[in-house]
């Protein structure tokens, strides 16, 4: 969660009655983590914040805080770091109020109905793309080093936050 650098808020509780920006209703870092934190506090979003809005992207949520359109926003750390890297003036205009525990990066998924041979081809293409110049260029443009196959347990922290 980010706030303007000059905000007096020191915790989520200080955002009661404030205007909060979210990225998307289904976004883990852009909304669901805050909902989880509110449940931990015994609060409900509708009565906690004076107003909420969905911006449609982490970048827009960051901009909304920086421009003073909202009091706080819930955003993905990787996007936040990329935005302040590209816009150094934002580094001094924003601050992190609270960080979530680490979560596995959003996975690449395919339907269960995907034929096994196609799954293998896709997995091989993604997990070896860092080995070519073009692949490294594409990955760098996404702020990534490489794709790897991970154990499903990496997402246990996500399941804990999003469980009803």
Total domain count, the chain: 2
pLDDT band, very low/low/confident/very high, at 63 (cuts 50, 70, 90): very high
Answer yes or no: are the C-beta atoms of 74 and 23 closer than 8 Å. yes
Domain that holds residue 72: 2-96
Which pLDDT does position 62 carry in this prediction?
98
Q: Are residues 88 and 21 in the same domain?
A: yes
The tokens describing 142, both together, are 């996404």
Whole-angstrom distance, CA of residue 63 vs CA of residue 21: 10
Q: Collect all residues with Cβ–Cβ distance below 8 Å to 72 and sequence separation of at least 6.
A: 1, 2, 3, 7, 9, 15, 18, 19, 20, 21, 65, 97
- Note whether residue 29 is domain-resident: yes
**DSSP run (H or E) holding 73:** strand 72-73
Angle at 4 between CA 2 and CA 8, to 5 degrees: 100
Paired with 54 in beta bridges are 22
Whole-angstrom distance, CA of residue 78 vs CA of residue 58: 10
Answer yes or no: are the C-beta atoms of 30 and 65 closer than 8 Å. no
pTM for the model stands at: 0.83
Whole-angstrom distance, CA of residue 139 vs CA of residue 146: 7
The more confidently predicted of residues 128 and 105 is 128
Query: Does residue 102 have a pLDDT over 90?
Result: no
- Note whether residue 143 is domain-resident: yes
Which pLDDT does position 15 carry in this prediction?
98
Query: Does residue 21 have a pLDDT over 80?
Result: yes
Which pLDDT does position 10 carry in this prediction?
97
Q: Are residues 138 and 64 in the same domain?
A: no
Which pLDDT does position 163 carry in this prediction?
79
- Note whether residue 109 is domain-resident: no
Average pLDDT score over residue span 77-94: 92
CATH of the domain at 25: 3.40.190.10
Which pLDDT does position 25 carry in this prediction?
93
- Note whether residue 35 is domain-resident: yes
């Amino acid at each position: 969660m980010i706030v303007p650098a000059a905000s007096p808020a020191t915790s989520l509780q200080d955002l009661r009655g404030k205007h909060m920006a979210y990225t998307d209703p289904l976004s883990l870092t852009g909304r669901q983590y805050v909902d989880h934190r509110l449940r931990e506090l015994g609060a409900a979003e509708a009565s906690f914040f004076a107003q909420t809005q969905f911006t449609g992207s982490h970048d827009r949520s960051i901009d909304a805080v920086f421009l003073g359109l909202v009091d706080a926003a819930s955003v993905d750390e990787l996007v936040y770091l990329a935005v302040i890297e590209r816009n150094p003036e934002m580094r001094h205009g924003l601050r992190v109020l609270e960080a979530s525990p680490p979560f596995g990066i959003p996975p690449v998924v395919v339907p269960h109905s995907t034929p096994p041979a196609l799954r293998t081809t896709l997995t091989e293409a993604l997990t070896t793309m860092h080995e070519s110049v073009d692949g490294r260029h594409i990955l760098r443009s996404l702020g990534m080093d490489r794709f790897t196959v991970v154990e499903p347990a990496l997402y246990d922290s996500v399941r804990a936050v999003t469980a009803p």
